[in-house]
């Protein structure tokens, strides 16, 4: 777990730096530089690409992570395997584009009434899908070598800072909105090129086209795994992304512009999970390969309590500062109707974090095939909930649907892992963390506040850090978190 903590620490710094840039983009630049409709279109293009990419990827990224340890015996062996994966990626993308032509009118027809502008971006979305497939494959290759810092930098920092630059160029009338969208997709292509170049320059990838030396039995086993993982990935992205598409289809691009900003604030809470799960992923796959179940059980429990503590802390910070954020946001009154969306999406992310790295365990285990069934059921349920709740309750209905789906998804995975592996992530520290977090939120919410939103935000943030940190130090629900906070206490002698 030491490798996980070290890499996760570096990745977390990049993640939070990226979030800072993303927050500037979503809270200040985009509301000021883009209309609600333009923002809604910009974001739904990427949501559509994210949902379509698992169909084009066919589980290749996860397959790379699962089978790489088997071939990690030198450049010749690993090079042969990864070359095969890259060739398969070209093949699966080509098949996807051909098959999608059969259903594209049905898919895009959903947006014809309230968001016809999305239909005009058809080929831009297809190109983005292809780029995302290869980015995912290279990210998996980096993770398989226990390197999450570089792909995290590209995804969380590089892509966001280039969005800032493009937004400024559009605001200054150097480019049109159409070219803003095209250049935004081009930055993903540049990110892919950089991921490829770095791994080549570091000597961590050497192509080996003797792929026919791979055993037929292995290719058959790998292919079966790919299709099962694809179904699982499709279900997962539907749960996480379909709300934006359905908000756009039912309510329009303008409403999606409001929704995506609130959604972004809610997703800030899960940043610690990204870093921990990225590193745990490779370790879990390696532990299953070597049948070290005790190590997996330990990672499961540690990820649950650590993610719950970190997620609760960020959740409290976001909730107590909601009024301050909307007060300083350009055109904040136009977006303030999304406050309850922030709360509900934030709760859904906190719930997801509290259940630990359950998805990583299932898809790396020999029971990965079973994952497809309840993921498909969950995806259907998510679509049904959104279809029922969005027309009835609007944007809040979409957030309720997301919360309900994620809660059910995690409960199903919890029960399944417990039945199959006799693992469960919770302990008495889970309950104590929830109670301490609730106490911290209550104490911060009742203190007198300042009228100036910037001063008030800084004041409430510092107060939350102090109260939450003291509670964690005194009750010590997590050894890892205590080790992080302890040096601060020693330095300031409190």
pLDDT in tens, 431-444: 999 999 999 999 99
Nearest to 142 by CA among 205, 89, 190, 208: 205
Nearest to 8 by CA among 136, 152, 145: 152
Tokens read off for 201:
């320059």
Provide the pLDDT confidence category of residue 5 given band limits of 50, 70 and 90.
Answer: low
Q: Is the pLDDT of residue 24 over 60?
A: yes
User: What is the tens place of the pLDDT at every residue in 292-334?
Assistant: 888 888 888 888 988 999 999 999 999 999 999 999 999 888 9
Nearest to 52 by CA among 278, 285, 233: 233
Crossing angle of helices 253-267 and 36-57, rounded to 10°: 70
Judge residue 300's burial from the number of C-beta atoms within 10 Å of its C-beta, 0-12 exposed, 13-18 middle, 19 or more buried.
Answer: buried
At which residue do the structure tokens 């333009």 appear?
38
Cα–chain center distance at 455: 31
Task: State how far the Cα of 14 lies from the Cα of 8, in Å rounded to an integer.
Answer: 10
Q: Is the pLDDT of residue 265 over 60?
A: yes
Predicted TM-score (pTM) of this structure:
0.83
Q: How far apart are the first and last CA of the chain?
A: 29
Q: How many residues are given for the chain?
A: 494
User: So what's the pLDDT on residue 71?
Assistant: 65
C-beta separation of 364 from 284 below 8 A: yes
C-beta separation of 183 from 166 below 8 A: yes
Mapped onto helix, strand or coil, the DSSP state of residue 222 is helix
Judge residue 292's burial from the number of C-beta atoms within 10 Å of its C-beta, 0-12 exposed, 13-18 middle, 19 or more buried.
Answer: middle
């Amino acid at each position: 777990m030491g490798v996980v903590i070290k890499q996760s620490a570096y990745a977390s710094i990049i993640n939070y730096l990226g979030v800072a840039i993303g927050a500037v983009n979503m809270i200040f630049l985009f509301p000021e530089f883009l209309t609600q409709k333009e923002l809604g279109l910009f974001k739904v293009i990427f949501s559509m690409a994210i949902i379509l990419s698992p169909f084009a990827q066919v589980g290749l990224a996860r397959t790379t992570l699962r089978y790489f340890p088997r071939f990690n015996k030198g450049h010749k062996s690993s090079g042969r395997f990864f070359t095969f994966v890259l060739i398969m990626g070209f093949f699966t993308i080509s098949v996807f584009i051909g098959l999608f032509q059969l259903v594209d009118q049905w898919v895009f027809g959903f947006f014809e009434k309230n968001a016809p502008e999305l239909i005009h971006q058809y080929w831009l979305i297809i190109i983005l899908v292809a780029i995302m497939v290869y980015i995912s494959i290279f990210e998996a290759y980096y993770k398989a070598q226990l390197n999450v810092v570089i792909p995290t930098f590209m995804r969380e920092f590089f892509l966001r800072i280039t969005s800032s630059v493009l937004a400024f160029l559009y605001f200054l009338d150097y480019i049109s909105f159409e070219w803003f969208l095209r250049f935004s997709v081009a930055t993903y292509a540049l990110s892919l090129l950089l991921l490829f170049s770095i791994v080549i320059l570091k000597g961590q990838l050497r192509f080996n086209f003797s792929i026919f030396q791979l055993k037929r039995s292995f290719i058959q086993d790998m292919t079966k795994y790919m299709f099962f993982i694809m179904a699982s990935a499709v279900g997962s992205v539907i749960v996480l992304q379909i709300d934006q598409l359905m908000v756009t289809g039912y309510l329009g691009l303008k409403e999606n512009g409001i929704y995506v900003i609130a959604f972004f604030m809610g997703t800030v809470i899960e940043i610690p999970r990204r870093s921990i799960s990225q590193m745990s992923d490779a370790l879990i796959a390696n532990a299953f390969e070597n049948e070290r179940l005790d190590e997996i059980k330990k990672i499961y429990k540690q990820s649950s309590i650590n993610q719950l503590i970190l997620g609760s802390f960020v959740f409290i910070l976001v909730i107590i500062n909601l009024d301050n954020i909307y007060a300083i946001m350009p055109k904040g009154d136009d977006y303030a109707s999304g406050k309850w969306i922030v709360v509900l999406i934030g709760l859904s992310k906190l719930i997801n974090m509290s259940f630990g790295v359950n998805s990583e365990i299932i898809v790396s285990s020999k029971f990965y095939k079973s994952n497809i069934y309840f993921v498909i059921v969950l995806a259907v349920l998510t679509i049904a909930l959104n279809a029922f709740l969005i027309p009835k309750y609007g944007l809040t209905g979409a957030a309720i649907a997301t919360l309900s789906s994620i809660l059910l998804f995690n409960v199903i995975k919890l029960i399944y892992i417990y039945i199959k592996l006799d693992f469960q992530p919770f302990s008495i520290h889970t309950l104590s963390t929830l109670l301490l977090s609730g106490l911290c939120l209550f104490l911060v919410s009742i203190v007198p506040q300042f009228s100036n939103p910037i001063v008030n935000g800084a004041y409430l943030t510092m107060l939350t850090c102090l109260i939450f940190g003291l509670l964690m130090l005194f009750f010590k629900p997590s050894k890892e978190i205590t080790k992080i906070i302890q040096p601060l206490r020693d330095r300031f002698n409190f």
